Amino acid sequence: MVLGSDVQQDFVAARRKIGVVPQELVFDPFFTVREALVFQSGYFGLAHNDAWIDELLDGLGLADKANTNMRQLSGGMKRRALVAQALVHKPPVIVLDEPTAGVDVELRQTLWRFVSGLNKAGHTVILTTHYLEEAEALCTRLAMLKNGRVVAMEQTSDLLKSSTSNVLHFKTNSEIPPSLRERARVTGRMVQLPVLRTQDIEDALAALRAHGAVVEDIEIRKADLEDIFLEIMHKNSPTNANSFCTTSANWLR
């Protein structure tokens, strides 16, 4: 069901209520950007849709590309055009499948400003993303999936409160002890280690000293969404082997 419309029995009405931005760049190479939006409007029986098309072009930074052939656009501009196509019929539900994957910072900021405005106007936005900081910043409700199964689904604020651990964050050029490495998240020189108690911090620093590791920029902070994500995935895995995981999130009014 999509807002009361059965996707099989009443599929035309259901499809009118959804706008989808696919992960892959799929476009018609024979149209300009404006022509593609006009053509897309026709799929939904919309005529004289020029005012909304102009608003989409302006809001997504495509106004100066309106009469450019889709083939001549950069990857980022094609992504913007796909977003405009998904929104051309003003759907109440918008599905974004990793819309910022591989795009530049400017596009990411432009897209989120525009979509946030739609959300505030009453649209529901369902976002699939691997950027957990993006999900934490934008979404009010989160679902985490592992091997096609939902392993967590809560309000973002509740999910962040659910973790009782802190994180010991430091930099080092040295190898860290195996006892710490199996629990740590290591990115280059940066090491992040979950800790529950003050004693855990003291024990970790003592182990580093005993191992001869030199540490810098020691910091203790609350666990963020990435820490919680890894904790949940570890709990739901029979081994410590890596697996493909997707975080899906949606804004709900």
Instruction: Indicate whether 44 pLDDT > 70.
Output: yes
Q: Give pLDDT tens digits for 93-150.
A: 999 888 877 677 877 888 888 888 888 888 899 988 877 777 877 888 888 888 888 8
**Domain ranges across the chain:** 11-129, 164-222
CATH code: domain 11-129 is: 3.40.50.300
The residue-averaged pLDDT of 177-206 equals 80
Residue 139 CA to residue 101 CA, distance in Å, equals 17
Q: Is the pTM of this model over 0.75?
A: no
Amino acid 237: pLDDT: 61
Specify whether the CB–CB gap between 93 and 17 falls below 8 A. Answer: yes
Tokens standing for residue 50: 């020029």
Residue 196 CA to residue 167 CA, distance in Å, equals 8
Any idea which residue has 């001549």 for tokens? 72
The residue-averaged pLDDT of 194-199 equals 77
Partners of 153 in the β-ladder: 143
Indicate left, alpha or beta for 217 from its phi (over 0: left) and psi (-120 to 50: alpha).
Answer: left
Residue 115 CA to residue 197 CA, distance in Å, equals 41
The residue-averaged pLDDT of 5-32 equals 90
Amino acid 163: pLDDT: 64
